[in-house]
Amino acid sequence: MALWSEPKIFFCSLIFVTFCCSLSVSQMPIDCCLSTKNKRIDKKLVADYREQAKGCSLPAMILVTRRGRELCTPPNEPWLQEVMKHVDRLKKLCKKKNYQHTRCFGVKPE
């Protein structure tokens, strides 16, 4: 009897701890844009971009400036595609130049 009770207690404890950890992770806050501005951003100021997480209530594209500031824009703005293409070309250039080119200020290595 004693041989069976120890593994049962161990596995019950393990399941309980796993359950508690999954609850705490699911309640972690997500960094979301609370609003967006459809003001056109100069592509020369932008060093990176990313799509906002799916867990956020507002669809948005996050533009990261060369100084690290994050700007939230609506994802369907026509000018946004031009900015994204510019950033992709900039990243390619910077990678090729080992991030030493003067235009690579604020661009983080991938």
pLDDT digits (tens, 9 = 90+) for 51-71: 998 889 999 999 999 999 999
Q: Which residues contact 83 (CB under 8 A, 6 or more apart)?
A: 41, 43, 46, 49, 63
CA-based nearest residue to 109, from 72, 41, 61, 96 = 96
CATH number for the domain formed by residue range(s) 43-104: 2.40.50.40
Residue 32: its pLDDT value, please?
92
Domain map of the chain by residue range? 43-104
22 has a pLDDT exceeding 60: no
| pLDDT for the residue 25 | 47
